[in-house]
Amino acid sequence: MSRDLNKVMIIGHLGRDPEMRYTPSGRPVTTFTVATNRTWNTTDGEKHNETEWFNVVSWGNLAEICKQYLSKGQQVYVEGRLQTRRWEDADNIRRNSVEIVASEMMILGDRHDSNQTNSDTQEPEPINDEEYPF
């Protein structure tokens, strides 16, 4: 018996704030982009950088979490499967789009409220040693 596998894992930074919509049946769907960077050196020592952009789609509870907690520039881990969408545009030209349908998402780096900017993150209050005698 053979098995198939369609699994993708990426770590990168959000390119824009997530956008949430609802299907006609009321199911939430959130989309966002994630950029991953790759750096390598050529044989003659020249350094190269390459950025790859991924479209990410999340559904249901995960869609609501992504919309609430993610914002542009934030580092995230996304796990899911690749899906190709095909459609015809207004000029009857066939279009394709490859996207990651997320099943898991973890916020990496600084966690900040989606209503705050990166510069508004709060420092933790210092602990008074006298309050904890042990």
pLDDT digits (tens, 9 = 90+) for 11-44: 999 999 999 999 999 999 999 999 999 999 989 9
| 119: confidence class by pLDDT, cuts 50, 70, 90 | very low
pLDDT digits (tens, 9 = 90+) for 56-98: 999 999 999 999 999 999 999 999 999 999 989 999 999 999 9
Q: What is the pLDDT of residue 111?
A: 56
Domains and CATH numbers, the chain: 8-112 (2.40.50.140)
Q: What is the pLDDT of residue 109?
A: 79
Q: What is the pLDDT of residue 1?
A: 79
CB 49, CB 39: distance < 8 Å: yes
**Quick check: 50 pLDDT over 70?**
yes
Q: What average pLDDT is seen over the chain? A: 86
Q: Which long-range contacts does 85-89 make (Cβ < 8 Å, 24+ apart)?
A: none
Q: What is the pLDDT of residue 124?
A: 42
How many CB atoms sit inside 10 A of residue 63's CB?
22
Q: What is the pLDDT of residue 3?
A: 93
Q: What pTM value is reported for the model?
A: 0.75
Q: What is the pLDDT of residue 112?
A: 54
Cα–Cα dist 34/78, whole Å: 9
